[in-house]
Amino acid sequence: MTVSRRRFIAITAGFALASGQASAAQATADWQGVALGARVQLRLVGLDQGHAAHLIDITRNELLRLEKLFSLYQPGSALSQLNAEGRLQAPPPEMLELLAQVGAIHRATDGLFDPTIQPLWTAYANANGTPTPDRIAAAHAKIGWGKVRFGAGEISFDQEGMQLTLNGIAQGYITDRITALLHSNGVTDAVVDMGEVSAMGQGPDQKPWRIGLAEKSDQPAAQSIRLSNKSVATSAPQGMTIAGQASHILDPRTGNPAPQYWSRVSVIHPSAAIADGLSTAASLMQADQMRSCIKGFACVDIIAAGPEGRQLRLRVT
């Protein structure tokens, strides 16, 4: 099985400047790579070449370090060890911080965000996207965030055969970490795309960053937004399928693929990790559920696109 990620991040950073703005644009430095099976990008604005090269270098090193913690498919990663053995002693502090964020989003979404869904994902993948009801039931029995124990000494599962996938939030968490790293090094204007997008300050045109929202990476952006000092994450239930069959977003309550409520859900929040987790869960929600969910958060903005051109915009200031 060669599945690079549990969910498809349907978002592209609008790095290209609009026509007619080149004369006023500041110098930029760009870097692209791959992490957690997805394209990652960085654009720094207004820095000299040497400083920008140094920041790109430390960003790459931090990205590699964090990938060794959260990768689902690197055999030596901390997450892979936890999934293989059912426990991880002396877990790294970043893992504990991320799991605490998972718990908060799990509670806020009434359990719709649940990274213990990995056994169910595996059942769909191994069955080419169409497992039998018995296999779904067997995998579903291993799901439950309440069966995960974590503290400074150890992370463990209460049930044999459980596994975590952090691909519904780790990209956002890494985006937040890289953004904080750049900020601590004096960066004020940059866009960080580590699977989710964080827009710092202004773009080269001295305006808020223009970010494109798409349902698939090979399609043009269906919508663009302007962001400054905020993050955005997008989930598209049909943006990626398991073995060409089921939606990659699975409902932890039922074990079934995401219903066809939305073709794309984008969440804007100061934290990319929060936006990441909420966008996954919101893909499983109808409008009233979204309204109820975001009441527990400040500064949340949801942009959802549904069948037949239906649009939904929700905001909590």
Task: Categorize the per-residue pLDDT at 315 as very low, low, confident or very high, splitting at 50, 70 and 90.
Answer: very high
pLDDT given at position 220: 58
pLDDT (mean) for 190-199: 95
pLDDT digit string (tens) for 230-256?
999 998 876 565 656 667 789 999 998
**pLDDT over 50 at 203, yes or no:** yes
**6-15, 132-141, 169-178, 295-304: segment of lowest average pLDDT:** 6-15
CB count in 10 Å sphere of residue 29: 18
* 309 CB-near residues (< 8 Å, 6+ apart): none
Spatial distance between the Cα atoms of 211 and 12, rounded to a whole number of angstroms: 7
Annotated binding residue at 277? no
**pLDDT over 90 at 269, yes or no:** yes
CB count in 10 Å sphere of residue 312: 17
Q: Which two tokens stand for residue 287?
A: 């409008």
**pLDDT over 50 at 12, yes or no:** no
* 80 CB-near residues (< 8 Å, 6+ apart): 71, 72, 73, 74
pLDDT given at position 257: 87
pTM score of the predicted model? 0.89
**pLDDT over 70 at 17, yes or no:** no
pLDDT (mean) for 9-25: 38
Spatial distance between the Cα atoms of 55 and 26, rounded to a whole number of angstroms: 17
Annotated binding residue at 280? yes
Task: Categorize the per-residue pLDDT at 22 as very low, low, confident or very high, splitting at 50, 70 and 90.
Answer: very low
* 163 CB-near residues (< 8 Å, 6+ apart): 83, 116, 118, 119, 122, 142
**pLDDT over 90 at 226, yes or no:** yes
Q: Which two tokens stand for residue 182?
A: 């750049």
pLDDT (mean) for 51-79: 95
CB count in 10 Å sphere of residue 73: 15
**Residue 138, class by beta-carbon neighbours within 10 Å (0-12 exposed, 13-18 middle, 19+ buried)?**
middle
Q: Judge whether 79 and 248 are in contact, CB under 8 Å.
A: no
CB count in 10 Å sphere of residue 1: 8
In this prediction, what percent of the chain has a pLDDT beyond 70?
A: 86
For domain 10-316, give the CATH number: 3.10.520.10
pLDDT (mean) for 118-138: 91
Q: What average pLDDT does the chain have? A: 87
pLDDT given at position 240: 62
**134-148, 165-179, 241-255: segment of lowest average pLDDT:** 241-255
pLDDT given at position 238: 62
